[in-house]
Amino acid sequence: MTEEKPFKEYDGDVYLYFGSVSKAGYNQLSALYEQKEKNQAKSKKACLILITTGGDPNAGYRIARATNHHYEDFEILIPDICKSAGTLICIGAKKLIFGDRGELGPLDIQISKPDEMFENMSGLDILQALSALQEQMLTSFRSNLIDLRAGSRISTKIAAEVATKLAEGFISPITSHIDPITLGEHERAMKIGYEYGARLNKMADSLKPDAIAKLVASYPSHGFVIDRKEAGELFNTVSAPDNTTSNIYDWARGIIESHEYPTADPIVVDVIDLLQSRAENSPTEKNNEEVDPHNNSDEPGHQEGERDTATQSQTDQQAVHTEFEDKQNSQPQSC
């Protein structure tokens, strides 16, 4: 029996990254790329199935750079959530294959909360607070100036001085609680996202003009949903899965629906190699090779092809289920 390549419609390598963007995930993915090259089995094109809530922007930048180093053509398939550092990785891809349930998020770097263990806050929080304070101060000044000028005979100059003091008195108790060091940390965090994004865009030419600035500062929250339509207004090449990638999308949806999001290190696998190796060791695969000599494929009602397809689908799912169980069992349990 001739072995068929899993996802044979797609002319390239397929990888799965499921979990937080981290240095550990970068190391796993780099090891897969290097092994593929060592075995001289690497294609020119790669599809990275990316499912992540975000993570370390430094690791995200390195993942995008490493994939472009190893592959001439880098595509990302987005079957579900792909936030923050995941969006950063997407800037390094030449094409986004965007499923109906896929979503990106802003380039919103997360910062550890002071005096809080294991909790993060958005890098936009303090900057948006300052913007709101500035707007409120200007509104207070204009309102007081108009009221003072219209309700009395004092000059515009004196009215402006009084309005300024009133506005300062309103805002000062709030601004006195803003730590300049914390403000600097937030500004640097947002600049990291911008600078990494600019470098990846220079390499991949993936974004439309001003898209980086929009991704960094134009969205109100970390969880804001950027769907396929809006992603098409930011990225140059965005498409729905087609006949070469729809089966990969369906497979990825099956993985998401049957596995919880990893809480420790991400799950990173070479999907095609995994499915091929599992299929070779599968008892059902060996049984399929023992064909009944009295069975005639031309006879009415013969459904050998349908059975092969169903068996392959079951083998694919079981292969990754086993891989996930192996990896998740090897991760440290949380207390």
- Give the Cα separation of 109 and 56 in Å (integer): 8
Q: Give the tens place of pLDDT for each residue, 11-46.
A: 999 999 999 999 999 999 999 999 999 998 899 999
Domain 13-105+225-292+302-330 annotated CATH 3.90.226: yes
Check whether 161 has a pLDDT greater than 70. Answer: yes
Q: Give the tens place of pLDDT for each residue, 242-290.
A: 999 999 999 999 999 999 999 889 999 999 988 887 766 665 545 554 5
- Token code pair at residue 53: 């809530």
Helices 304-330 and 271-280: crossing angle in degrees, nearest 10, is 110
Residues 6+ away with beta carbon under 8 Å from 303: none
pTM of the model: 0.74
Helix residue ranges per DSSP H, the chain: 23-38, 57-70, 85-91, 124-151, 156-175, 180-204, 211-217, 228-234, 246-258, 271-280, 283-289, 304-330
